[in-house]
Structure 1
């Protein structure tokens, strides 16, 4: 398992992206529609993914695994929250741990 993104829902996506770029100096890595923007974290391969807060999900990580199905089978305490919350090429279903922490799994990282 490898951390690919730190996902942070925000109320005002455009203003948040502007703050991270202009004030903090982050560079935009990619954008998906009007609801998701990923920013490069200086000195790291991990990206900060800002997304529209429309679903009301808390912040969480997006992790790369060899097989989402196998990981889910081996970690039976996980609870599905929503399928395909993050729509990368292969999709990233979102989970919740028994402590309420949200995270997503993906088999491909976006370049």
Structure 2
């Protein structure tokens, strides 16, 4: 697992984008529709991903794995998955909670290979 993003759920993507740009000077790296965007953090490969908070999840890391489906199959009996693997534009995505309820997101780039 490699940290790729810090995920921050937001109530209003447009307002949040303006906030992070104007207050901190962050530049937009990419956007997925009207619900998710990533911002470049200075001197870091890690990006801040902001997304509509339609599921009520807390902020947390987004980790790249080789295969979300393989990770899920190997860990579904040990980990509390709150969102099972699903398709997203670059690949597959899932969300689980650690033993303290902290949200952990995983992603693979299987559609980009």
1:82–1:74 distance in 2 versus 1, CA, 3 Å? closer
CA distance in 2, matches of 1:34, 1:66: 27
Q: Could you tell which deviates more after superposition, 21-30 or 78-87?
A: 78-87
Contact 1:8 1:51 in 2 (8 A): yes
SS in 1 for 2:51: strand
SS in 2 for 1:8: strand
Question: Which position in structure 2 is the counterpart of 1:63?
Answer: 63
RMSD of the TM alignment (CA)?
2.3
| Cα distance, 1:76 vs structure 2 | 4.7
Aligned length: 110
TM-score, with length taken from structure 1 = 0.86
Instruction: Give unpaired runs (5+ residues) of structure 2.
Output: none
| Cα distance, 1:104 vs structure 2 | 1.2
SS in 2 for 1:55: coil
CA distance in 1, matches of 2:104, 2:86: 10
Counting only pairs closer than 5 Å after superposition, residues 1-111 of structure 1 correspond to structure 2 as 1-72=1-72, 73=74, 76-84=77-85, 87-108=88-109
CA distance in 1, matches of 2:27, 2:88: 21
TM-score, with length taken from structure 2 = 0.84
CA distance in 1, matches of 2:86, 2:7: 11
SS in 2 for 1:66: coil
| Cα distance, 1:16 vs structure 2 | 1.0
